[in-house]
Structure 1
Amino acid sequence: MLLLLLYACGQPIAKSRTSPLDYAELSRNDGWYLRVHGDGSGSLTHRQYPHHHLEYPLQTFDLARVRAVAVPCHTTVDTGSCYHLTYYRSAADRILTCSCAPSAPLDEAMTTAIANMQTAVDNPSSERSCRMLRRVWLASR
């Protein structure tokens, strides 16, 4: 039994590509602002309604997908449908900025935020924020 325990302790530690301290900030020209943390939590707000925001629970988002866009930072020409992306990497204490990141992979994070709005409601004020932000989202579509 002791040998088995020693063998298990000698194995390399699996490293995650993202740390819980990492985060990404996504913003678009239409006013939406999404912040995704390394633990999968996040927050959503709109520029016109800064007092209305939603806080998402752990494991709602996948920061690894956002990181895949931030690291190479291939900018697009179409500035109307791109995101301004800022990614903080805690292991290197570095901020990566992409002024016009391609929208397709980041739209998935925004869609997840909109689809999971109800999971972010935990009190009456967040219920109001949820209704307000949902109205803004539907009006923009």
Structure 2
Amino acid sequence: MADKELAELLHLVGRRLRHGYVARLVPLGLNPGQARALRVLADAEGPLRMVRLADELRIVPRSLTPVVDALEAAGLARREVDPANRRSTLVVITPRGRELSGRARDARRQAGEELFAVLAEAEREQLRGLLAQVDAQFR
């Protein structure tokens, strides 16, 4: 392992985390993109314009359309005309979407706990701090 560069190790660990997360999302009928969109909607103070939701997810608005279509088809979110700007569309999370968002959040937490169980609590805290430090420079 010592011969692997840091970026490669981070990529491999990220893939393992994603696989564990996806395996837990499948029974919920969600993919990671849908789960992320639900999380952003659940954390928002109210409905979000499509453009704002795409911005929060760091994707282009046209990539958001199939995500919202799937959430709408599953009864997890709905589109509404923005009364403040009739040309804009709001995305509103439904009660079922809010509930599933919580379950998806639990799935992500469980996948992380399983993956990082090999580390002592102090090591996990140190890793969390280091990764937060790296992430902070890009915000």
TM-score by length of 2: 0.28
User: Which is richer in strand?
Assistant: 1
TM-score by length of 1: 0.28
